[in-house]
Amino acid sequence: MRKRRDVKLPVALERVQGRFADWREQKQGRERIPEELWKAAVRVARRHGVNQVSSILNLDYSHLKRRIGKNAEAERRMPVANGVFVEMEGMMPERDSACVVEIEKENGTRMRISVQDVATVDWRRMKEAFLGA
């Protein structure tokens, strides 16, 4: 049976774990966790699970779970920002034609999609899955 320390953590979770470790080394007494660290924990918990993240980051499971719910509610109320929508009237490819789409996050992470039949792809869901919306 593998011990927990032998398991390779996902890169994003490892980075957040490092940020928490740095903060814990520098904090004064019973100082509250900064909001930016909570947001980072919420992001990785959405992707890797509340149980795993709360355990690795040494956070209260219930508190992290509540924060995920509050974050989701706040994001639904926030207008969409950071991005440009370009409408290309009359330029929608015919069914069965090839298409390449690239999406890039603010941190530089990119996703490139190449499809043969553009009509079969749910572009909204694809974007949301990649951007974490």
Count of CB atoms situated within 10 Å of the CB of 45: 24
Contact (CB, 8 A) for 56 and 8: no
List C-alpha distances in Å: 87 to 73, 90, 122.
Answer: 29, 9, 17
Greater model confidence, 100 or 31 = 31
Q: Look at residue 2 in the predicted model and tell me its pLDDT.
A: 46
Amino acid at 47: R
pLDDT at 86: 56
Indicate the pTM of the whole model.
Answer: 0.51
Residues 110, 103: contact at Cβ < 8 Å?
yes
pLDDT 10s digits, 14-49: 999 999 999 999 998 889 999 999 999 999 998 888
Most confident of 8-17, 52-61, 87-96, 109-118: 52-61
**Which residue matches tokens 């709360």?**
54
Residue 73: pLDDT band (50, 70, 90) is: low
